[in-house]
Structures are given as structure tokens and as C-alpha cells.
Amino acid sequence: MAEIITPTDVACPICGEGTLILHVEDDTVEYKGITRTIPSQYKVCTACGSEQADMDDLRVNKRAMQAFKKEVEGLLTGQEVKALREVLGLTQADAARMFGGGPVAFSKYESDDVMQSEAMDKLLRVAAHIPSAVNFLHYLAGLSPVRQIGPWEPVVIERQHRVESVLSEEVLSEHEPQPWRDVG
Ligand SMILES: [Zn+2]
């Protein structure tokens, strides 16, 4: 990618004279022995010429780096997490209730602000491949199923004031795993 230059109407916070020009250029980064070129942005003042990175630039650059790290780690990218959530018909809030991670977890995973844990990644893949696991997670979260995937009669047991549900192997084996295609 060649360098892209875009004028903005933002006044330079350093000299107050000029306006800032957005520069986006290639940056070669390395993570765990793997090298990649990712976009990196900063701004340059038309008057004083100072190069500066504001909060927006830092956020965008951090997201590009996180996306690259997720790829190296073999984790679902933000785009893939979003696609998976949408296939399951979940809002970000419902996805957090089902899978955990806190109320804004999915907004952060999907924008590549945060790298999901390996455990979260595996749970998402389980949900993507095993329809009855989705039903089960719906049930645990107290959500009504967004779609009827198959006959599923949860066995409810009381254990230390906690209601748990047991899914029989028989029910699981009724569902052939659906391979989940990577997006992008
Ligand atoms: Zn300036």
C-alpha cells in the first residue's frame, strides 16, 4: 500500500496555526517470529510540520496490530467473531450473556480492541459447530432460543443452589457438526 494522505480540518493542537493531514502508511511489525505489513496512521501539521498521533490514530493502529496478533495466535478475528454472532442471531449484549466476558466484551472483540481468551475462542467455535451447544448456552443465560435447532429436552438438576443442565450424548450425536467457514 502506498502512503495515503488525507487533509482534515482539525487544527494543530501544537502550534494552533496549521491543520492536520492524515497519513496512512505501511508499517512492518513482528509478532512471535512472524512479520507482517499493517497500516499505521499519524497526522502531520501543515504549518509546524510536527508529526503527531492522537487518540484516534492510536486506537486504529492498536486495532490493526491486535487483528494481526489474533491471526498469529490462531484466534478468530474481530470480523469472524461478528459474523459468527450474527449467524447465531445474537445482539452483542446477548452474546456476552451467553458466552461471558462482560457487557462490552463483544464490541471489543469485534473491533479488535481486545484479544479474546483461548477459552472464549474455543467456546465460540463450539457454538458455531454444535447447534445443541447454542441451545444449551441460551438456556444457561436464561435467553429464549432465537431459533429452534432441534428437539432438546434439558435435564435440570439442582446443585449447590445452582441450576445446571445436562445434555445427553444422545442429543449431541443427533447433530452433525456444521463446518464453519472462515470469513474474509
Ligand atoms: Zn502545527
- Per the confidence metrics, is the pTM higher than 0.75? no
H helix or E strand, kind and range, residue 21: strand 19-31
Other Cβ atoms less than 10 A from the Cβ of 7: the count is: 10
Under the banding of pLDDT at 50, 70 and 90, the label for residue 88 is confident
Between the CA of 67 and the centroid of ligand 1 the distance, in Å, is: 32
Question: Residue 56 and residue 24: Cα distance in Å, rounded?
Answer: 13
6 CA from centroid of ligand 1 (Å): 16
Go through the domains of the chain in sequence order and give each one's CATH number. Answer: 14-73 (3.10.20.860), 78-157 (1.10.260.40)
pLDDT, tens digit, 9 for 90 and up, residues 117-173: 999 999 999 988 888 888 889 888 887 665 544 443 433 333 333 333 344 444 444
What pLDDT is attached to residue 146? Answer: 52
Q: How far apart are CA 50 and CA 149, in angstroms?
A: 58
For residue 151, the model assigns a pLDDT of 45
Is 119 buried (19+), middle (13-18) or exposed (0-12) by CB count in 10 A? Answer: exposed
Cα 11 to ligand 1 centre (Å): 8
Each residue of 149-181: b (16+ CB within 10 Å) or e? Answer: eeebebeeeeeeeeeeeebeeebeeebeeeebe
Rounded to the nearest angstrom, the distance between the alpha carbon of 150 and the centre of ligand 1 is 63
- Cα 1 to middle of ligand 1, angstroms: 27
| Residue 122: closest CA among 149, 84, 170, 88 | 84
Q: How far is the CA of 5 from the centre of ligand 1 (A)?
A: 17
69 vs 77: CA distance, rounded Å: 9
